[in-house]
């Protein structure tokens, strides 16, 4: 970790009737950090707060919320436009919903470039071909519409759109959960190799612990809007926290045949935050 790229402390996100993220603090340098937890644990909302995408009536408040030196709460829409794309970019879960169905891949990539950089037409095309090569797609997908792509190709297009402006921080919000098991590793390996080539930091959001353990440096475990556990990813198999342990061991497999899988006792409260391993 050389420099701090994202600094979050005391982040709260409130909706009328519920607080979805409560007093969350973390930093992200040039590394890969995983945010794990079940649906509704607040991990996607945290990512959205970093992108300025929390919609009304949601309210974001924090003692510090800083991305690449920009203080997010004071940012106006021009400032956001400069930060998004160039500084921080996001890959969403499902290419079927996140891509514009009536625009070709080429025009969606081109749009990302024209919005965030001033480049000539030839320079843009060069960049587009370069990024397509990076995500291992052939140039003939450029003329296609999202409906003509398979799930894995759609996901690669979304990654290409996120990478085309060379961001310093990439947020990947469950980039593999709409894909089948075989494609999951391919896409994650692609993300990891791009992070290393481009010296890009990644915040990976997932509910699959064994998967993130292979691909990330650090893990933060969220439950009901709070960080309940944090550790280096390599330590996950030895996690002591009961919630983390269940998430780690609840994955089925050949050895668990004929046995009951461990499940969460949801009546239990897991808030006894373990910050020792930070």
Residues that bind other proteins (CB under 8 A): 38-40, 150-151, 180-182, 207-209, 246-247, 250-254, 256-257, 260-264
Per DSSP, helices labelled H in the chain are 43-51, 77-83, 95-98, 105-116, 121-134, 151-163, 181-198, 209-215, 242-249
Q: Which is nearer to other proteins, 117 or 246 (CB)?
A: 246
Least Cβ distance, residue 251 to other proteins (angstroms): 6
CB of 156 to other proteins, least distance (A): 16
Minimum CB–partner distance for residue 98 and other proteins (Å): 17
Minimum Å distance from CB 228 to other proteins? 13
Using an 8 Å Cβ cutoff, are 10 and 64 in contact?
Answer: yes
Nearer to other proteins (CB atom), residue 22 or residue 177: 177
Provide, rounded to whole angstroms, the least separation between the CB of residue 188 and other proteins. 15
Helices (H), 33-91: 43-51, 77-83
Gap between the Cα atoms of 169 and 88, Å rounded: 5
Q: Looking at beta carbons only, is 67 or 212 nearer to other proteins?
A: 212
Query: Which residues is 45 bridged to in the sheet?
Result: none
Rounded to whole angstroms, how far apart are CA atoms 229 and 226?
Answer: 9
**What's the closest the beta carbon of residue 207 comes to other proteins, in angstroms?**
5
Show the 3-state SS of 113-169. Answer: HHHHCCCCHHHHHHHHHHHHHHCCCCHHHHHCCHHHCCHHHHHHHHHHHHHCCCCCE
**Of 31 and 208, which CB lies nearer to other proteins in the complex structure?**
208
Nearer to other proteins, 47 or 247 (CB): 247
In this complex, which beta carbon is closest to other proteins, that of residue 166 or of residue 208? 208
Bridge partners of 28? 6
Q: What is the closest distance, in whole angstroms, from the C-beta atom of residue 100 to other proteins in the complex?
A: 23
d(CA 215, CA 142): 29
Considering the complex, state which of residue 43 and residue 84 has its C-beta at the smaller distance from other proteins. 43
* Peptide bond just before 57 cis, omega within 30 deg: yes
């Amino acid at each position: 970790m050389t420099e701090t790229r994202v600094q979050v402390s005391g982040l709260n996100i409130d909706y009328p009737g519920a607080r979805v993220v409560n007093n969350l603090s973390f930093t992200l340098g040039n590394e890969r950090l995983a945010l794990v937890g079940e649906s509704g644990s607040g991990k996607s909302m945290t990512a959205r707060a970093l992108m300025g995408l929390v919609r009304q009536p949601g309210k974001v408040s924090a003692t510090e919320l800083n991305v690449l030196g920009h203080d997010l709460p004071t940012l106006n829409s021009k400032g956001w436009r400069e930060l998004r794309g160039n500084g921080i970019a996001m890959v969403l879960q499902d290419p079927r919903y996140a891509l514009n169905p009536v625009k070709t891949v080429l025009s969606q990539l081109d749009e990302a470039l024209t919005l965030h950089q001033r480049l000539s037409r030839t320079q843009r095309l060069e960049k587009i071909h370069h990024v397509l090569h990076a995500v291992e797609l052939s140039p003939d997908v450029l003329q296609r519409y999202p409906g003509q792509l398979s799930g894995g190709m759609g996901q690669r297009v979304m990654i290409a759109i996120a990478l085309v402006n060379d961001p310093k921080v990439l947020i990947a919000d469950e980039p593999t959960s709409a894909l089948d098991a075989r494609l999951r590793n391919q896409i994650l390996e692609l993300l990891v190799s791009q992070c290393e080539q481009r010296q890009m930091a990644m915040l990976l959001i997932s509910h699959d612990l064994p998967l993130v353990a292979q691909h990330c440096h650090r893990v933060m475990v969220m439950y009901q809007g709070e960080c309940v556990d944090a550790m280096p990813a390599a330590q996950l198999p030895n996690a002591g926290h009961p919630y983390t342990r269940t998430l780690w061991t609840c994955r089925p497999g050949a050895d668990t045949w004929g046995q009951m899988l461990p499940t969460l006792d949801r009546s239990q409260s897991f808030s006894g935050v373990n910050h020792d391993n930070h």
